[in-house]
Amino acid sequence: MKTPQAVPLIRAPRRRGSRDKADPCTMVIFGGAGDLTKRKLIPAIYYLAEQKLLPDNFALLGVARDQNTDDSYRAMMREAMSRSDEIHKVNDDVWQWLCQRTFYAGGDFTRDDAYANIKTRLNEIESKSGEEDRNRLFYLAIPPSVFETTLTHLCASGLARRTHSYEERPWNRIVIEKPFGTSLDSAMALNRLVLDEFGEHQIYRIDHYLGKESVQNILVFRFANSIFEPLWNRHYVSHVQITAAESVGVEGRGKYYEEAGVLRDMFQNHLLQLLTLAAMEPPSSFTADAVRDEKVKVLHSVRPLVQGDCEPAVVRAQYDGGTVDGKSVPAYTSEPDVPANSLTPTFAAMRVDINNWRWKGVPFYLRSGKRMARRISEIAIQFRSPPLLLFGQKAVEEMSPSVLTMRVQPDEGISLRFQVKTPGAMHELTPGLEITPVDMDFTYGEAFGNDAHPAYETLLLDCMIGDPTLFTRSDEVEMAWSIIDPVLDYWGKHPARSLPRYPAGSWGPEEANKLLLGDHTRWR
């Protein structure tokens, strides 16, 4: 296994409590007319403006190849907001406030003249603020194929400059969208490139799962309560199931998905992030590096998925046509830009073992797929059965185990399933005793109303405040690749002739169930 690079520590504080206002800054979005900007970034910026979390001298510069003026770009963003499913109602005053601070620069990112144009526009915009040196946030909402040239040009043109410490002002920060590389080698090369030009404290690698309230709550739930942590280990936990099931298909992204497949798209990032948060040790403090150090330690302890030349215990499959939410949907191979003979997996399930003192012997089962029966992401901790069968063998066999479930989405919340005596019911072996599982349920919606902040809003604010806790550090991203890469490598060297298939709208292929048989359990 290759060794990820060591990283300098960033002693950045984790902000806490009520939300701080962003630092004054100019945000430059490369890919300013793209899908991500329209669907996620502009709505998130709008919400920050609505909550008055952006300072008066905030400015936004969209950069794209299209021919646009400031006005036509503003109109394009306004149109995108009215289509966005993230925004319920646009307040005209807030939009006008944002509009006055939104600008556009056209150009091809691979050419020098684009950067000269951006520089001119930034000078115009920033000179109005009366500040000589402005903080700048560069957001790369662009395909990975143009990361390298964009980063190189950004530095060469002097638009973004290296700062030597987290405290240095004005700050320059770079946000990099996923996927961060397509393999361990490419992620290492990208890290080298980025870290040749910038300090780690300037780089914000996004995994939007970390911006979800319910994901952040995993740490609060675990470490702000003392009742669960004593049980959170191999002595009490029988196994853990982490699921990220989606009912959507590839949503017109067939070209990207053909190259990615489910392991790169969901496991290397989102699922391994959930795994680290569920399995990590308590950090020594709630600072960015203390938290990330503990997450990296979990990744270091993962037993390699490929042992010698043995086939990895990873089930992969692809969806067929079927019915989802009452609508019939086509097979993956009938999606646009997907060849009819594609062998790209849209579902995977795997067993992950964490070889450390806390978790040795406790399987973590991970699964994710497109076009499954329902959209649901959750972590379920299943506890061991009681050591002694007091209530009659039959009753215990019927007993479902105690399970603590952290629902990431939808219906964010936490529930605890445990056994109670059914009132009055009799059981033939232990008269007077029949046992029923019940759920104790907490939902965010009921407790706090349905106004959770969208993930991108949280993450963008963190970039502007300078809190990297919810972003992936260079060693973390490489460690995650070093877990997934050997499986991709194995599959590359031993190409499958066909893949198991599952009907759209189901819970995946039969093969995924076999993975759990050895542990006498099944998928939830």
Residues classed as catalytic:
270
CB of 436 to ligand BG6, least distance (A): 33
Instruction: Determine contact, residues 399/382, Cβ cutoff 8 Å.
Output: no
Q: Backbone dihedral region of 337: left (phi > 0), alpha (psi from -120 to 50 degrees) or beta?
A: left
Rounded distance between C-alpha atoms, residue 218 and residue 236, angstroms:
19
Residue that is written with structure tokens 């972003």 in the block: 471
Report the alpha-carbon angle 384-389-390, nearest 5: 125
Interaction of residue 457 with ligand BG6, rule CB under 6 A: no
Q: Residue type for 203, please? A: I
* SS3 category, 101: coil
Nearer to ligand BG6, 217 or 287 (CB): 217
CB of 265 to ligand BG6, least distance (A): 5
Q: How far is CA 13 from the centre of its chain?
A: 22
Nearer to ligand BG6, 246 or 457 (CB): 246
Site string for ligand BG6, 160-199 (x = CB under 6 A): ------------------x---------------------
Interaction of residue 200 with ligand BG6, rule CB under 6 A: no
Rounded distance between C-alpha atoms, residue 384 and residue 173, angstroms:
46
CB of 246 to ligand BG6, least distance (A): 5
CB of 445 to ligand BG6, least distance (A): 17
What is the number of other CB atoms lying within 10 angstroms of the CB of residue 12?
Answer: 18
Q: How far is CA 89 from the centre of its chain?
A: 26
Q: How many residues bind ligand BG6 (CB under 6 A)?
A: 3
DSSP string for residues in 177-246: PSP--SSHHHHHHHHHHHHHHS-GGGEEE--GGGGSHHHHHHHHHHHS-TTTGGGSSTTTEEEEEEEEE-
CB of 346 to ligand BG6, least distance (A): 10
Here the tokens at position 215 are 């994901």
Interaction of residue 246 with ligand BG6, rule CB under 6 A: yes
Instruction: Determine contact, residues 351/307, Cβ cutoff 8 Å.
Output: no
Instruction: Determine contact, residues 275/352, Cβ cutoff 8 Å.
Output: yes
Here the tokens at position 110 are 């691979």
CB of 283 to ligand BG6, least distance (A): 25
CB of 411 to ligand BG6, least distance (A): 13
Rounded distance between C-alpha atoms, residue 91 and residue 89, angstroms:
6
CB of 406 to ligand BG6, least distance (A): 15
Instruction: Determine contact, residues 138/158, Cβ cutoff 8 Å.
Output: no
Nearer to ligand BG6, 265 or 293 (CB): 265
Rule CB under 6 A: choose which of 50, 126, 197, 265 binds ligand BG6.
265
Instruction: Determine contact, residues 109/149, Cβ cutoff 8 Å.
Output: yes
Nearer to ligand BG6, 60 or 488 (CB): 488
Here the tokens at position 171 are 């700050």
Here the tokens at position 426 are 């009799």
Residue nearest ligand BG6, Cβ-based: 265
Residues in contact with ligand BG6 by the rule CB under 6 A = 178, 246, 265
